[in-house]
Amino acid sequence: MRIAGDWLSCEETQTVCRVLTEAGHQALVVGGCVRNALLGFPISDVDIATDARPEIVSDLAEAAGLKVVPTGMDHGTVTVVAGGKGYEVTTFRRDVETFGRHATVAFSTDLAEDAARRDFTMNALYATADGEVIDPLGGLTDIAARRLRFVGDPQDRITEDYLRILRFFRFHAWYADPAEGFDAEGYAACAANIAGLETLSRERIGAEMRKLLAAPAPSEAVAGMAHCGALGVILPGADPRALPILVHLEGGLAPDWRRRLAVLGGQDVADRLRLSRADGNTLRLIGDEVGSPRQAAELGYRHGAGLGRDILLCRAALTEMPLPPGWEADLARGAAARFPIRAADLMPAFTGAALGARLAALEARWIASGFTLTREALLDTPES
């Protein structure tokens, strides 16, 4: 079987591969780029595996006039920059000892040894520079069936790196056939090792959850996480029941992990997932407004059409109630509305706290009118 694409045939990729192969070494694109090419998914990063040791890769690349960044020499990885594009070139490896996300590795010239240390069979696929796929572990069969399987013994793969539990659910959401369900052996191993999730950094957990929730249809994967206990370990109090309702309500809307995370809930979510301040604030705002009485027009006015839409979708999913009639038009109308009164219009008659209270009262009256009251009508409003 062969794969093709601009990412593979472009001069930059071919140059990096040629530098190695012309010196008698292997140069194989590997992992996600091969998997995605076979599945028809977009390709971002192109990684290359080789039997050349990292110092040889560096010497050959520099001799060819390419920039080299020693990304992880101890683990066999150097970044070779060609035409402004960075390629991680990693020497074939075998694990000598593993402990969590860290491992002692030995360089190898055997592709089979390199494949055996990867996480899933669909990620243990290689291809030559002309697109010929090399499949040492049956990954092509699993790709064809949209089946996610660990390489070798799932228990061993997970105890090597407990992040693979979260990757199991993330990759299932993105690449597996939902009708096939979870690989039973892999799922059982995840369930048996959920305590290992406590050893992971919150940054890594947050990154995996963001990628998982950005999948087109993550509901089954998240429900599986909850059933085996993994979700409760990383997000105590999270409840996946509203997520499939939200995904249904989204229709053709682009997935947004923040919106989906908002309906999962949980304790100290922003801290547990190490969210940015902006993302944490967005999550809290959605949570607060889901329980507020504000309707579509006011939500659009206060938060804009996009965030207002997310609030209404989350509210409908969590309450299992339909979206209100005309909500999209109301959101747009509110988002376009501009309060006609400014603080200067009320001064000097009102100052300090009284000024703020008067502005708030007039704004509330204006919103209640459907944004129709004019500046003059509002200024003529008697004090209550």
Which pLDDT does position 95 carry in this prediction?
A: 73
The model carries a pTM of 0.90
Q: pLDDT digits over 109-162, tens only? A: 999 999 999 999 999 999 999 999 999 999 999 999 999 999 999 999 999 999
pLDDT at 61 over 80: yes
pLDDT at 96 over 70: no
CATH placement of domain 1-145: 3.30.460.10
pLDDT at 38 over 80: yes
Which pLDDT does position 94 carry in this prediction?
A: 84
Q: pLDDT digits over 106-123, tens only? A: 899 999 999 999 999 999
DSSP 110-140: -HHHHHHTSSBGGGS-EE-TT-BEE-SSSHH
93, 22 Cβ separation under 8 angstroms: no
Which pLDDT does position 72 carry in this prediction?
A: 85
Q: How far apart are CA 351 and CA 17, in angstroms?
A: 71
Which pLDDT does position 104 carry in this prediction?
A: 67
pLDDT at 278 over 60: yes
Q: How far apart are CA 298 and CA 109, in angstroms?
A: 64
Which pLDDT does position 102 carry in this prediction?
A: 54
Identify the three-state secondary structure at position 309.
helix
pLDDT at 71 over 60: yes
Which pLDDT does position 252 carry in this prediction?
A: 86
pLDDT at 372 over 80: yes
Mean pLDDT score across all residues of the chain: 95
Q: How far apart are CA 142 and CA 175, in angstroms?
A: 10
Half-sphere exposure of 344 (CA within 13 A, CB side): 0
Q: pLDDT digits over 307-325, tens only? A: 999 999 999 999 999 999 9
Provide, rounded to the nearest whole percent, the portion of the chain with pLDDT above 90. Answer: 93
Q: pLDDT digits over 169-222, tens only? A: 999 999 999 888 999 999 999 999 999 999 999 999 999 999 999 999 999 999
Q: pLDDT digits over 220-257, tens only? A: 999 999 999 999 999 999 999 999 999 999 998 999 99
25, amino acid identity: H
Domain boundary assignment for the chain: 1-145, 340-379
